[in-house]
Amino acid sequence: MRPPEDCRRCALCAGRTNVVMPDGDPSSPIAFVGEAPGAKEDAAGRPFVGSSGKVLNQLLEEGGLPRERVFITNTVKCRPPNNRAPTQAEMDACLPCLESELEGRKVIVTLGRSAARDLLKRDIVMKDEVNRPTKVTIRGKEIVLIPAYHPAASFYNRTVKDSLRETIRVARTYLEG
Ligand code: URA
């Protein structure tokens, strides 16, 4: 299920330029779920094309999972004002789209707390759960979910890139296993 270009399911429609649809390989067994589009993504209509995307692309390439081979999406498809986190109501409105995007995948990597909360239905303390695979049920089927830091966190903390390298390594063991 795709949101229509004129989607009005939540109030984010008022400020967006584009509905930001997923990118990468639509049939990839692995999906990366970010929080929400930022200004660059809103303008381009593609997820992770700004500075977070640069970090993500570099780490994916380095880890042997280039961007073209993975599926990349966000909890919400429209940019929240002032880059605030999406509200629960906004994520709920977009959840049917997200679930249809994730259905049947082998591994889901959530990037940041919003994406983890949206799919796990609970708040997480990132440092306690990062890179610890768990499972979520999407449309009746269990899928491995790996909570990871958001690439933007690497701008403020130098250890985050190493943690994301580990995320990709762990994800690959599930993909290949
Ligand atoms: N941050 C996100 O969470 N998603 C994007 O698409 C870009 C930045």
pLDDT digits (tens, 9 = 90+) for 78-115: 999 999 999 999 999 999 999 999 999 999 999 999 99
Has residue 3 been placed in a domain?
A: no
User: At 66, which CATH number?
Assistant: 3.40.470.10
Q: Measured at the alpha carbon of residue 125, what is the angle toward residues 120 and 129, in degrees to the nearest 5?
A: 70
Has residue 47 been placed in a domain?
A: yes
Task: Look up residue 121 and give its two tokens.
Answer: 């239905």
CA distance 169 to 148: 12
DSSP one-letter code for 126: H
Ligand 1 centroid vs 40 CA: distance in angstroms?
9
Domain that holds residue 73: 11-176
Output the pTM of the full model: 0.97
Which residue among 12, 17, 35 has the greatest number of ligand 1 atoms within 8 angstroms of its CB, and so is best to mutate? 35
Ligand 1 centroid vs 139 CA: distance in angstroms?
25
Of residues 110 and 158, the one with the higher pLDDT is: 110
Split into its structural domains, the chain has a count of 1
Has residue 54 been placed in a domain?
A: yes
